[in-house]
Amino acid sequence: MGNERTESQEHLGKSVSATATDTLPRCWAEIDLGAIRANAQAATRASRCGVIGIIKANAYGLGAVEVGKALQNTVEMFGVANVMEALELRKARIRTPILILGTCQPTERPLVVRNRFVPCISSLTEARAWSALTQQMDTPCLDVHVAVDTGMGRAGFPLAEWTPKTIRALQMLKNIRIDGLCSHFPSADEDPEFTLRQIQRFSEVSALGLSLGLNPAKVHLGNSAGALGFPELQEVSNFVRPGLMLYGVSPLAEMQHALRPVLSWKTRIILIRDLPNGHGVSYGRTLITRKPTRVATLAVGYADGFPRNLSGQSASVLIRGQRCPILGRITMDQTMVDVTDLPAKVGDETVLIGKQGREEILISEVAQKAGTIPWEILTRLSARVQRFHKES
């Protein structure tokens, strides 16, 4: 190639912040950081609350450090799943406060205290352990968020244990400051009646604490579905915890218009072959051609995170602005598609998720056809899918 640049390379040079090389990527994700910021702002507008940006699981597969740096002046706090995720952000010199949503193991607690992370606590036993540790380490007061289980059944003080006695015991602990009170929705995208009852329960939880002098700075309950679909949240909380919506996917289909797309997942045609009528395609020969068919092989498979369950589900990809059906079973490293009606060429850019011309494949469409949820589609993107982050 020398110093010559193809049309695709020029496109990447304009839209993607990546080191220029002579080798085009085989399978890659383009991530719009400006769109992520816009979606965080949409969460604020919809809920009229502050934002704790959820960037756990490597920012849902899109790059926690890059997303964290892009959001650190837009959100007031980050939420991660565990200590290791929090440490990754700190090592990248991201100084935004970090809330650890999952329960910390005893061996992890010194790291939390030393780095001034904010743990969630679900019991008096936990709270007392944090208090004892901070005194033992002779450190300043540790901020914690108290979780109360209003219906999720995963963590938090059970409602029956959220009593004046419990609250007073928490308030008496040394070196512990209750900076937050929180709970979590299990079905805000599926069961609005239960969600409204849960909001009422959380209101009672908060009111009981307030009556006893517990007045945390951050009160939060709503996830993405809560932020987008339940204006009642602003009456019981002052923060929301958007995750999925930051990455351009609304868990409520009717609110998709409020968000900007973030992810474009692409690959290339690496081989084109003409198969005769009656020829099998891929493992198991689940697809037998019914006419002469031009078959393109793509450089993507389930090892990249492209769901094998899309096989046989009338799923398609975009090539030259047109939908091309997936043929047979998706394999570990390659996927075959029908390009009989296209002037397709080896090297053509192929869109798995995103827009090309007037056509678009949404993450939610891929999830539906694969029989799963958008969260899984995002987080299963494998390490060999190159990530290119851009500003829009």
Q: Nearest-CA neighbor of 27 among 272, 328, 282, 303? A: 303
Q: Using only C-alpha atoms, what is the Rg of the chain?
A: 24
Phi, psi of 189 (to 5 degrees): -90, 0
- In whole angstroms, what is the distance from residue 262 CA to residue 66 CA? 13
Residue 56 appears among annotated catalytic residues: yes
Question: Considering 14, 283, 291, 345, which one is annotated as catalytic?
Answer: 283
Q: Give the bridge partners for 203, in sequence order.
A: none
Question: Considering 56, 218, 266, 369, which one is annotated as catalytic?
Answer: 56
Residue 283 appears among annotated catalytic residues: yes
Let me know the angle formed at the C-alpha of 242 by 45 and 89, rounded to the nearest 5 degrees: 120
- In whole angstroms, what is the distance from residue 4 CA to residue 31 CA? 26
Q: Nearest-CA neighbor of 231 among 39, 48, 75? A: 48
Q: Which two tokens stand for residue 174?
A: 């040394």
- In whole angstroms, what is the distance from residue 358 CA to residue 318 CA? 10
SS3 at position 179: strand
Which amino acid is located at 254 in the chain? Answer: E
User: If phi over 0 gives left and psi between -120 and 50 gives alpha, with beta otherwise, what is residue 386?
Assistant: beta
- In whole angstroms, what is the distance from residue 341 CA to residue 368 CA? 26
Residue 390 in contact with residue 31, Cβ under 8 Å?
A: yes
Q: Which residues are catalytic?
A: 56, 283
